[in-house]
Homo-oligomer: A and B are copies of this chain.
Amino acid sequence: MSVTKNNENRTILPEPTIRRLPWYLSYVRMLDNLHVEYVSSTQISKELNVQSSQIAKDLSFLNIRGKTRIGYEVSSLVKELEDFLGFNKHHDAVVIGTGSLGTALMQDHGLENYGLNIVAGFDVRKEVIGKKIGDLPVYDVKELSSWQQEHKVSIAILTVSVDHAQEAASQAIASGVTALWNFTPYRIKAPSDVIIANTSIYAHLAIIYNRMHGHE
């Protein structure tokens, strides 16, 4: 994945750190569910196969300190990680393209645990416009701009087909969206202040195949 964002005003966390923090979170959430009280960076290190010095460094960005010989308080660490990662806040989002992936995301209530609140879907296909997916309405993508005047959602999830990716992205940006979560393999062009996260699942497939074909 890659994120592009011009930002002169603040320090932005290194991407590798942000990628590791959710691993720590999913592990300490499990410990918390098991009522474990403390966890050391050595223990996290063994479990996740990340060097403990790296873990201590990553966690130093948070507003939490471990105690000597005891480690981090698990419940506080869960909360700090959730706060820091933004998973405790509600971020409203729309899905553009309600095909199988878009539909799945709209039905995935697990995303709410990660602060994502999908409020509507948009599509071009007459047969789905006006219908519902789960509890969520599906609108004509032509209505996105007028709908946004009331809702002012900041995140658009792009799950259209690749040949509609740029068009859908441009419509979303024109409607006031500031962040695009792009699931298409298309490389979106956008003004530099728009945040773009590319989740290119096909690239991951290519990497798997490349590694596999080495020992066929």
Interface status of A115 (Cβ within 8 A of chain B) = yes
Interface status of A149 (Cβ within 8 A of chain B) = no
In the complex, the answer to whether B100 meets A209 with C-beta atoms within 8 Å is no
Nearest to A194 among chain B residues (CB) is B211
In whole angstroms, what is the CA distance A166 to B36 when docked? 19
In whole angstroms, what is the CA distance A87 to B213 when docked? 12
In whole angstroms, what is the CA distance A107 to B47 when docked? 34
- Per-residue CB contact flags for chain A residues 149-173 toward chain B (1 = under 8 Å, else 0) read 0000011000001110000000000
A107: chain B residues within 8 A (beta carbon): 100
Given contacts A86-B213, A163-B30, contact A208 B187 (CB under 8 A): no
Interface status of A202 (Cβ within 8 A of chain B) = yes
Given contacts A195-B208, A211-B195, contact A202 B22 (CB under 8 A): yes
Of B22, B203, B206, B210, which one neighbours A200 at CB under 8 angstroms? B22
* CB neighbors of B among A77-122 (8 A): 85-87, 89, 91, 99-101, 103-105, 107-108, 110-111, 114-116
In the complex, the answer to whether A21 meets B155 with C-beta atoms within 8 Å is no
Of B3, B89, B212, which one neighbours A195 at CB under 8 angstroms? B212
Given contacts A1-B1, A3-B208, A207-B197, contact A23 B214 (CB under 8 A): no
* CB neighbors of B among A12-34 (8 A): 12-13, 15, 18-19, 21-23, 25-27, 29-30, 33
Interface status of A65 (Cβ within 8 A of chain B) = no
Given contacts A91-B209, A208-B181, contact A187 B49 (CB under 8 A): yes
Interface status of A62 (Cβ within 8 A of chain B) = no
In order of increasing CB-CB distance, the 9 nearest A-B pairs are A86-B209, A104-B104, A26-B185, A85-B206, A195-B211, A100-B108, A19-B203, A100-B107, A48-B187
